[in-house]
Structure 1
Amino acid sequence: MAPSKKRHASDQTCVIPGGFTVLPLQFSADSAAQHDLYVKEHKVRAATGSHRPLDRTLFVLNVPPYCSQATVRELFSRFGGVQSVELRDHPGSFQESGPELTEFFKPAEKKGFKVGYVVFQSASSLAAAKSHPHDVPLVVCTEGRPVRTGVQKWIQQYAESFIQPEELQRMVDSFLEDYDKRKVEAEERQKKEAEQQEEDDEGWVKVTRGHNGAKARPHSEAANRRTLQKEIRKKKRKELINFYTWQHKNTQKEHIAELRKKFEEDKQRIALLRAQRKFRPY
């Protein structure tokens, strides 16, 4: 939707404590009830990056349940081009991009009011949204943009809950292909790490540069296992008996001394037994 050419009257803007601007929301043109959205410029640097620029991101509170991301995009496109819309249950940092989950693995969506982050393509669109007059409500449901509620919405959700066998098969095939691809990549990465972390005969580990110039860590499970086996072999070599001549002589001396000690103990025991024995012919 093209930006509105109507000049917004800044003197009719309603600003409440906290720096929030009140934007009236009306479900349809003939609806008597209105709903208020509270918007302000998003200025949280800790959660701001290229996805939420400081000068083009609008923070929106009190978004009603019947407003989807597409609906919010259409509502705010009257102020200018909208780059992205994000709806969340609670304010917070940006959700990092990860593997896209199908509807089978996504948790059930919570029903209730949400908070939104609207990123405009231009900073002037943000200023236009903040200066929108309070007596001109934003209409959600129009002839060109119908929004279903109540029984019609339930019927639509029930019809969309059924998945055709062809679509289900396509989703399964896509998931398996992605799984096989990630498995092959993991095996190649483990093989490459094993080659980079090979030890030489003296126990040295070759450490190479990893991704983006970072040092690769040699403490992998395979490297730890090889190091443990090497230590066991070294310990066994140290425990070898009679490896040198002087070790053999010392072992013989210790063995002879132990035999002599045992011989003297046996003599004393025999003498004690003879002393205790008494001659009793009758």
Structure 2
Amino acid sequence: MTQTESAIIQLKDIGKSYGNISALRGVNLTVRQGEVTCILGDNGAGKSTLISIISGLFAHDVGEYLVDGQPRRFASPREALDLGIAAVYQTLALVPMLPVWRNFFLGSELQKGHGIFRRLDTDAMFAVTNDELHRMGIDLENLEQPVGTLSGGQRQVVAIARAVHFGARVLILDEPTAALGVAQSGLVLRYIVQAARDQGIGVIFITHNPHHAFLVGDHFMVLARGEVDLDKPRSELTLENLMFHMAGGRGLSALQHEIHS
């Protein structure tokens, strides 16, 4: 399989403006199955606009958006989701007081029976949730516990497993480790790799953290003021170089000088 054949998403010279403000200019990106693509940049770099376009929340103004080689212009996230492009945001779409298995099927509940006898198939939903979480290597003691009692990392991986179960071919993860400690970040990063390697999913990992990105990434893009500042595969990049671009090309010594000056 060639790299073109394995590409799920291709963005070509994508641009987006809001009035007189240009949020993105000339962005090219390829998301391939089984790979983790890391998109980094400071606040205002254009990351949110880019993932909004990919997920179908906004339409691009210029350029071309291809899915499986076909041009697309989404009118809603539902259209993107129908093609297997799913976003998991920092503010997870989970109901804290509902049990884990109910959250897993939230909005897509299984039912049984007919007519007035139709009701939720709770046994099937519980069993599927248990099987899918175990298949992803997620071991929770009690699926009846409210999802709000789980750690931040556990909630993230439940959301990831849910998206995979419902057909995600491209998984967009928006700062999934931003509010997590070291152990919980490690948990999420492990499942990012597992989703890509074991499930063959194309993962887009949005992050401010070059260390987390370099642990799991196959390809790296750094955005700066709406433009691509860096676009390289892992084989052509070092962590130091990635951090240099994240620092706006100034490097760590310049940052240390600013801190101590």
Query: TM-score range with shorter-chain normalisation?
Result: under 0.3
- Give 1 or 2 for the bigger CA radius of gyration: 1
TM-score, reference length from structure 1: 0.22
Q: Which one scores higher on RCO, CA 8 angstroms, separation ≥ 6?
A: 2
TM-score, reference length from structure 2: 0.23
Which structure: greater strand fraction? 2
